[in-house]
A and B are shown apart, each in its own frame.
Chain A
Amino acid sequence: MGLQHKKKFGLMDYFRSPIQRNAILTAFAFLAIPMLVYLIFVVFPIFQAAYFSLYKWNGLGSLTDFRGIDNFTKIFTDPIFGKAIINNFKIVFLSLIFQIPLSLMIALVIARRFKGAVIFRTIFFLPYILSEVIAGTIWSFVYNPQIGIQNTVLADWIPWLANFQFLGHQDTVFASIFVVLIWKYFGLHMVILIAGMQSIPVEVEEAAYIDGVNKWQLNWHIILPLLKPTILLSIFFSIVGSFQTFDIIWAMGRGDPVNGAETMVTYMYKYGFQRFQLGFGSAVAVVIFMITIGVSLLYQKFTAEKES
């Protein structure tokens, strides 16, 4: 009997034993406030977003106007949201073909600790620590048609550029802002990739050189495959970050003209918040959330397959 009793050490027994009771009480005391903060400001609002998204609601009074999936139909039939989501995917796509390769090339060079490597790293990483608002405002000045760079430098060679407003045309505004995104974030990816390279043992490289491998072969056949997890991580950051893009767009013309640089988050802010359509805005949030979760799951599946 006594043995049997010992085997069944259930939840209630935790409370009977004074040591266990103490552990639970301490854990509770230590976790209560963090948990509360997390529940109130992260978990609860996410669920609320899902709930609000089914209503038409201006943020005042109570939720009564239930609309089912109307908000979502409205989102997916709105050509402006179409523009926004395409812009988000353009940021992802262009980052993959321009930003990551650029960062990778620089990282490959800088990881070889030559004279001045640290200075270059310091300089390339510098834009990352500035806020997007500051970066955006500086570049609005650089692109300014009267005093900016194209009027004083480029216009001498390409006359039609004189007084051309890069941020004032729906066809050029997106590309112009994308240049700023590269400027601001290539240093971050470079630093992540360098960290990945430094975790590759020196012996691997030495062995390769002894086998008579040249630098190009070393980078292409040895370093790159070993660096794959880090590159995937960099890509993941770049994708998740691009779905959140707001500040820099806002600082460089608020997604206009003609929604040329609209993103999903600026769309949510303009059409959900500024116009007090909180139900509709929450529906946009849910769409962004679904896309982000989808990408994260894909990433996890992809990296898990690589590892096994």
Chain B
Amino acid sequence: MIVDGNKTAKSIQYTLLIALAVLTLLPMLLALVGGFKNLAQLRLDLFGWPDPFLWENYVDVLHPKRSRFFLSLFNSMLIMSTTVMLGVILSSFAGFALSRIKFPGRELIFNFFLVGLLFPPAVAILPLYVQLKSMYLLDNYFGVILPQVAFALPMQIMLVRSFFKQIPMELEESATIDGCTQLQFLVRIVIPLSKPVLTTIAILAMVGSWNSYFLPLLILNSEKYFTLPMGVMSFASQYVYNWPLVLAYITLAMVPAVIFYMLAQKYIIEGLTSGAVKQ
């Protein structure tokens, strides 16, 4: 890019960006630091350094007997990883059939999946509740996992199919000559070659599942199944007047997502924007 030499413009630009960055981070930092304070100090000195510096709030949240933080963390992880795995597997098979096998009605089926891009989950959620009830999937991990997988499928199939299409035909021919069946070709050659697109759909599914609240709220009733966002809500309403404790819980609930973001930022941003731009 071309750099222009105007120094004042540049320093104004930096100042504004830094101010915006501080505003962006401030709520999170206040929560992090607030978790080390007691209520009196939080009330009198919102921005100050914790004095006395208390670990108790964080210890309480992490203590298995005093909060269900770890249980919620486990539930969120279980639901997320199963959702991601099923999504990757199902969309790989469907994407393969819709891109590399010739059969009558292929485009029709693909378009039928594509229509799903227009269906917002909120619209289906009441009948979905009735449906899951009749399938005995209420208050069950799979009552959350299966609808999440299903609603992610159209986008995933679209991305996977367009990637699989670009794999050269010669590869398939030589694999067939070597005695590869289509299943073997998919599992041994196509899937290993398709890491970029599979990473993208996995990340989209991870972020979606990890943050979802509406669907689990309807489906999961027992506290032992609560996901992390549900845990945040129930903890915050349980300790309405103990903000430092709630702030500690929120901060710890942010940690996994923030760590994941720091480690995989490049893939997350690429995945989310490629999912968006290709639509």
Residue ranges of A at the interface with B (Cβ–Cβ < 8 Å):
11, 14, 20, 23-24, 26-27, 30-31, 33-35, 37-38, 40-46, 48-49, 52, 59, 106, 109, 111-114, 116, 120-127, 129-134, 137-142, 144, 146-149, 152-153, 183, 187-188, 191-192, 195-196, 202, 205-206, 209, 215, 230, 233, 237, 240, 243-244, 246-247, 250-251, 265, 268-269, 272-273, 278, 281-282, 285-286, 288-289, 292-293, 296
Contacts and interface: CB of A to CB of B under 8 A. Distances in A.
B31 A141 contact: yes
Q: What 10 A-B pairs are tightest by C-beta distance, nearest first?
A: A41-B150, A131-B211, A48-B127, A45-B124, A45-B127, A30-B97, A133-B229, A34-B94, A30-B93, A195-B273
Nearest to A286: B123
Contacts of B210: 131
A144 B243 contact: yes
B42 A265 contact: no
A132 B207 contact: no
A24 B105 CA distance: 10
A112 B13 CA distance: 12
A273 B120 contact: no
Contacts of A37: 90, 146, 149-150, 153
Contact of A132 (B213, B228, B250): B213
B168 interface: no
Given A133-B232, A146-B43, A31 B94 contact: yes
B103 interface: yes
A114 B10 CA distance: 10
Nearest to B23: A183
Interface stretch (B49-57, B63-71, B193-201, B257-265): B257-265
Contact of B232 (A35, A134, A192): A134
Given A34-B90, A134-B254, 20 more contacts: A52-B126, A106-B20, A116-B17, A123-B21, A126-B261, A131-B232, A133-B211, A133-B229, A134-B253, A137-B236, A141-B34, A141-B246, A147-B42, A147-B43, A153-B46, A183-B27, A209-B2, A243-B120, A285-B123, A293-B118
A138 B122 contact: no
22 contacts: A23-B102, A30-B96, A38-B153, A40-B146, A44-B127, A46-B127, A48-B131, A126-B261, A129-B257, A142-B30, A146-B43, A147-B43, A148-B46, A183-B23, A206-B2, A233-B277, A247-B213, A251-B233, A265-B214, A281-B126, A288-B123, A293-B118
Contact of A215 (B4, B39, B228): B4
Contacts of B90: 33-34, 37
Given A14-B103, A41-B150, A191-B269, A27 B127 contact: no
Contact of B17 (A109, A113, A149): A109
Contacts of A46: 119, 123-124, 127
A30 B13 CA distance: 54
A142 B28 CA distance: 10
B246 to A, nearest CB: 7
B130 interface: yes
Given A41-B131, A137-B250, A268-B122, A125 B27 contact: no
Contacts of B146: 37, 40-41
A38 B113 contact: yes
Contact of A124 (B20, B118, B236): B20
Nearest to B269: A191
A116 B150 CA distance: 40
A26 B97 contact: yes
B123 A289 contact: yes
Interface of B: 1-4, 13-14, 17, 20-21, 23-25, 27-28, 30-31, 34, 39, 42-43, 45-47, 90-91, 93-94, 96-98, 101-104, 106, 109, 113, 116, 118-131, 146-147, 149-151, 153-154, 157, 182-183, 207, 210-214, 217-218, 228-230, 232-233, 236, 243, 246-247, 250, 253-254, 257-258, 260-261, 265, 268-269, 272-274, 276-277, 279
Contacts of B120: 240, 243-244, 288-289, 292
Contact of B21 (A124, A152, A292): A124
B140 to A, nearest CB: 14
B19 to A, nearest CB: 11
A32 B233 CA distance: 38
Contacts of A247: 213-214, 229
B127 A49 contact: yes
Nearest to A140: B236
B117 to A, nearest CB: 9
B243 A44 contact: no
A250 B274 CA distance: 30
Nearest to A284: B126
Contacts of A192: 273, 276-277
A247 B7 CA distance: 44
B48 to A, nearest CB: 10
A281 B130 CA distance: 12
Contact of B233 (A137, A144, A244): A137
Contacts of A149: 46
Contacts of A278: 126, 130
A198 B198 CA distance: 23
Contacts of A147: 39, 42-43, 46, 243
